[in-house]
Structure 1
Amino acid sequence: MNAITDTSYEILPFTLGPGLMSRAAIGLVVLATDQTMEYEWRKIMNLPGVAYFAARMPSPQDIQPDTLAAMRKDIATAVEMILPGIELPVVAFGCTSGAIVIGEAQVFEEIRKGKPQAVGTSPITAAKHGLAKLGARRIALLTPYVASINRLFQEHLQAQGFEVSRIATFNHSNDAEVARIDATSLKRAILQVGAHADVDAVFVSCTSLCMCDQTRQIEQLLGKPIVSSNSAMAWHALRLAGIPDTLPQWGRLFEV
């Protein structure tokens, strides 16, 4: 005889609540090599009723225009892996340089293949919206990228009406090592490139750079806004999802 028949066995009633995402559910596509984005998003997205759900996709260790372009074919598959069968209002694609090389419209097209109802964002999309909201037109660009990638960024931002008045780079293409560039190096670089009179704000580009823990402090020292890839995309995803919360601990951008 089956043992379960010898035991009191009840089927109990239950009700369904809103779950973790009573206010917003956000999808996030993370590159396989990324060590930083989820750490920063866990901090920023720590809000009642707000949840994000991530999937990883293949990505190159060496960041070059051709390797970035090749990522397009894997975006839709990654998006499909995020809560299958559940609609998400917002999905973020976590690669700044990849979104420029592939094209923002093309990235969002791939997102909609996996989640047809979703509005897409990316770090460069979010940064442009954020810089415009902050009233910053003259931008200092700080990146870890090689020259060919930096030229694409300059052309892209200038085509969107921004003036890239300064570019500073760590000139390193290994994504795993970029994630280990320390806080002191980032702070020193931001204060150096941002101090010039022809700079309204500093854009720290690359999702592997760990910035959120010191953005507010460096802004106070610099006296100018700092927009970084992960923080900007988190801010934009929250606003697209209808979350207006003011979170000044993460920088000036989260006050608009």
Structure 2
Amino acid sequence: MSRTYRVGQIVPSSNVTMETEIPAILQARQHIEPERFTFHSSRMRMTHVTPEQLKSMDADSDRCAVELSDAHVDVLGYACLVAIMSMGLGYHRISEERLHALTVDNGAPAPVVTSAGALVHGLKTLRASKVALIAPYMLPLTQTVVAYLEHEGIEVIDYRALEIPDNLDVAAHDPKRLPGIARRLDYAQADAVVLSACVQMPSLGAIDEAEQLLGRPVVSSAVCTAHQMLRSLDLAAVAPGAGHLLSGVYAESPTPSKA
């Protein structure tokens, strides 16, 4: 008999993408693996992607973690990459440890995956030491993402900041445009391309096309988050239609704590 896992997500109040792409990835997995998933969210207030709103929002993540642990979720995901990265280099480790401790204190311990940490770990799983990326943020926040990845030992050889200030406008960006944008990056020396360094900018439907166009692994923050969630549950990290990272080649790769 297959088990059903509860997937909890801490989501910015204006995010409408993470609750579609993560379920889409895991529901596609259900066609090839026996496990089933339900999805549960708690929201942090944020409408504009500014350093001030991101800091205020991150402070609310503790409440969300406790609320989700009340539901005894099996894994908890923090669905805002730039909120974590704007809090300081390496902050994903601090956030993951703090939020996990809150679930323990609440009597329902659950592993915590941040999309920021998942992107770092996903690229390292691919052994991608050089990448090119697309982000929807204004240029200063995009540069924060670049600096964060480079602090983790991942060189960003080229990037494009789409400079979309409103978070709902980020969600409305047409993913069909992303392969063409990626094609204009200087990616010749890149080991992988990040099609969306943001869990609000949709990209899942363009991952396979971009891989074929660019001839190298293509990931997104959402794809990396799904991969790490599955490994945190000790499940095979595989799902059709989500690119090379979830193709099955890295189905049994270790989580950061076991690497």
- Conservation of the 8 A alpha-carbon contact between 2:122 and 2:245: yes
Aligned counterparts of 2:10 and 2:240: Cα–Cα separation in 1: 25
The equivalent of 2:190 in structure 1 is 199
Letter in 2 for 1:198: Q
Question: Could you say what secondary structure the match of 1:104 adopts?
Answer: helix
The equivalent of 2:255 in structure 1 is none
Aligned-residue offset at 1:44: 0.9
> Which of 133, 136, 143 is the matching residue for 2:125?
133
Aligned counterparts of 1:168 and 1:52: Cα–Cα separation in 2: 35
Alignment of 1:1-256 (within 5 A): 22=3, 24-46=5-27, 47=30, 48-82=34-68, 84=70, 86=72, 88-102=73-87, 103-116=91-104, 117-193=109-185, 196-203=187-194, 204-255=196-247, 256=250
- Conservation of the 8 A alpha-carbon contact between 1:140 and 1:202: yes
Aligned-residue offset at 1:60: 2.0
- Conservation of the 8 A alpha-carbon contact between 2:4 and 2:38: no
Letter in 1 for 2:173: I
Aligned counterparts of 1:26 and 1:52: Cα–Cα separation in 2: 6
Aligned counterparts of 1:60 and 1:24: Cα–Cα separation in 2: 28
Question: Could you say what secondary structure the match of 1:53 adopts?
Answer: strand
Aligned counterparts of 2:134 and 2:223: Cα–Cα separation in 1: 15
Aligned-residue offset at 1:54: 2.2
Aligned counterparts of 1:33 and 1:43: Cα–Cα separation in 2: 19
Give the share of equivalent positions with the same residue, in percent: 23
Residue range with higher mean Cα deviation, 243-252 or 222-231: 243-252
Letter in 1 for 2:22: W
- Conservation of the 8 A alpha-carbon contact between 2:115 and 2:221: yes
Q: Name segments (4+ residues, structure 1) moved above 3 Å.
A: none
Question: Could you say what secondary structure the match of 1:145 adopts?
Answer: coil
The equivalent of 2:257 in structure 1 is none
Aligned counterparts of 1:28 and 1:52: Cα–Cα separation in 2: 11
TM-score between both structures, scaled by the size of structure 2 = 0.84
Question: Could you say what secondary structure the match of 1:115 adopts?
Answer: helix
- Conservation of the 8 A alpha-carbon contact between 2:81 and 2:114: yes
Q: Aligned-pair RMSD on alpha carbons?
A: 2.0
Question: Could you say what secondary structure the match of 1:63 adopts?
Answer: coil
Q: Structure 1's 113 and 172: CA in aligned 2 closer, same or farther, altered over 3 A? A: same
Aligned-residue offset at 1:53: 2.9
Aligned-residue offset at 1:214: 1.9
Aligned-residue offset at 1:68: 0.7
| Structure number with larger C-alpha Rg | 1
Q: Which runs of 5+ in 2 are unaligned?
A: 251-259
Question: Could you say what secondary structure the match of 1:249 adopts?
Answer: coil
Aligned-residue offset at 1:43: 1.1
Which digits, 9 at most, give the CA deviation of each residue in 1:36-61, with x for residues without a partner? 11111221111243324322322321
Aligned-residue offset at 1:110: 4.1
Aligned counterparts of 2:141 and 2:19: Cα–Cα separation in 1: 24
Aligned-residue offset at 1:99: 1.4
Q: Size of the alignment, in residue pairs?
A: 235
Q: Which runs of 5+ in 1 are unaligned?
A: 1-17
Aligned-residue offset at 1:89: 4.1
Question: Could you say what secondary structure the match of 1:78 adopts?
Answer: helix
